[in-house]
Amino acid sequence: MDLAKIGSEGRLGEPHVGDFPGLRSWAPVLLFLSIFPLGAVGQPGPRGPLTWEEGSPIHRIAYTPSFETADVIARGETSADLWLGLSNIFEQDSSATHVVHLDTERLLSSLSVRWGAAERLEIGARMTLETTGGGVLDSFVHWYHERLGFGQANRDRFPQDQYSQRLTDGGSTRYVDLRRRTLGLADVQISAKWSVVGGTSGGPALSLRLAGRVPTRSNRVAPERADGAVVALGRLGSGPWYVHAMAGAGMVRASPQLDPVLRDVSTFLGLAVERALGQNVAALVQYQLASPVLRGFEHRELDWPASNLVLGLAGRWGEAWSWDASFQEDLPADTPAIDFTVGVRVSRRWR
């Protein structure tokens, strides 16, 4: 197999996602929205946004932001969140500058604790565990991509349910080389969030979040370095509708050996539209965009912005419990974003 030829042709002659009619590419959104009635519901509080973060092994060599509420928990309160995200990942390509082969399924398990340290200020900590392997979902994702016309990104050329997480220059220089893990510690984060505009009773809210990350992932190229980010989170609402937004920037530090191909800063944006389906459940459509962390490859699947469409439901049980469930797909398909993720979050608050 001539990998250089594969890279120059992009996807072995498969149609580019742009060749499909726009309606077909956005089919998951249209299907999702058509399920739910748009009748009057009243004015319940916001339930979103959906818990989400970029899962690409390339992007996760640096800080990856989490889309979360703009609200800050009250002074003296404590909350704990458990989020599970199962991803099916496949990217294979090569050119004169690189050979990339990402073929894995990964389960991220994150546990976050937040404490209301003062009025308008919360302090948080998070631990993320990572499990990777060949997985079992390749055949389902292949079928799903065929049905929606997203293309297979060379999946047909490789055995299913295999494992690889490697990026090289095509020779002896490795940039990313990740081994299999079972509940391995991926990183530890600490954060502080300050409420600039309070969101009483679901009203407009604006907050600033500072976060620091200490990575512990096993990139065999070299140990990764600590990094951090600043994020602005906002919300507006009217009746049963809410709009959530996220914008921020983070340092890109990763391994020192990667400095020649790393950008200094990454930026990220997120927008979510929420529609209440009742007093305790809401449907959400989100779109997230993150700038590339690599440079110099001149290839869309490495140094192009990663973009994701996320659909899901969020709700509440009583006063103490909340939850959300989501489905994420990269859109368009030829960016560094991962192919397929399903996520579930459960949260508990103590006063």
Q: What span, in angstroms and rounded, lies between the C-alpha atoms of 96 and 328?
A: 31
Q: What span, in angstroms and rounded, lies between the C-alpha atoms of 328 and 87?
A: 9
**pLDDT recorded at residue 11:** 40
**pLDDT recorded at residue 10:** 41
**pLDDT recorded at residue 1:** 39
9 pLDDT band, cuts 50/70/90, is very low
Please give the average per-residue pLDDT across 326-344, as a whole number.
83
Q: What span, in angstroms and rounded, lies between the C-alpha atoms of 277 and 274?
A: 9
23 pLDDT band, cuts 50/70/90, is very low
Q: What span, in angstroms and rounded, lies between the C-alpha atoms of 192 and 177?
A: 32
Rg of the chain, C-alpha, whole Å: 20
Domains of the chain, residue spans: 42-86+107-133+178-350
pLDDT in tens, 60-77: 888 988 899 999 999 999
| Structural contact between residues 116 and 350, judged by C-beta atoms closer than 8 angstroms | no
**pLDDT recorded at residue 215:** 92
Please give the average per-residue pLDDT across 14-21, as a whole number.
42
Reported CATH class of domain 42-86+107-133+178-350:
mainly beta
**pLDDT recorded at residue 207:** 97
Please give the average per-residue pLDDT across 70-87, as a whole number.
95
5 pLDDT band, cuts 50/70/90, is very low
Phi-psi domain of 151 (left: phi exceeds 0; alpha: psi -120 through 50; beta: other): left
DSSP helix, strand, coil percent of the chain (3-state; round to 5)? 15, 50, 35
**pLDDT recorded at residue 199:** 66
Sorted by sequence, the CB contacts under 8 Å of residue 200 that are 6+ apart come out as none
Average pLDDT, the chain: 83
| Structural contact between residues 89 and 338, judged by C-beta atoms closer than 8 angstroms | yes
21 pLDDT band, cuts 50/70/90, is very low
What are the E-state strand segments in the chain? 78-94, 99-118, 121-133, 164-168, 174-177, 184-197, 205-215, 227-238, 241-251, 265-276, 281-290, 306-317, 321-330, 340-350
322 pLDDT band, cuts 50/70/90, is very high
Pick the more confident residue, 8 or 55: 55
* Closest to 217 in 3D by CA, of 327, 128, 133: 128
Q: What is the DSSP letter of 258?
A: G
Amino acid identity of residue 67, one-letter, is F
Please give the average per-residue pLDDT across 269-282, as a whole number.
94
**Is the pLDDT score of 202 beyond 90?**
no
pLDDT in tens, 93-130: 777 788 888 888 889 999 999 999 999 999 999 999 99
pLDDT in tens, 149-193: 666 566 666 666 777 888 888 888 888 888 888 888 999 999 999
Please give the average per-residue pLDDT across 305-321, as a whole number.
93
**Neighbouring-strand partners of residue 333:** none
**Is the pLDDT score of 279 beyond 70?**
yes
**pLDDT recorded at residue 274:** 96
Please give the average per-residue pLDDT across 28-44, as a whole number.
58
Amino acid identity of residue 321, one-letter, is W
Please give the average per-residue pLDDT across 13-33, as a whole number.
49
Please give the average per-residue pLDDT across 299-324, as a whole number.
91
**Is the pLDDT score of 27 beyond 70?**
no
Pick the more confident residue, 264 or 300: 264
138 pLDDT band, cuts 50/70/90, is low
**pLDDT recorded at residue 28:** 60
**pLDDT recorded at residue 302:** 84
User: Is the whole model's pTM more than 0.85, yes or no?
Assistant: no
Q: How far is CA 220 from the centre of its chain?
A: 23
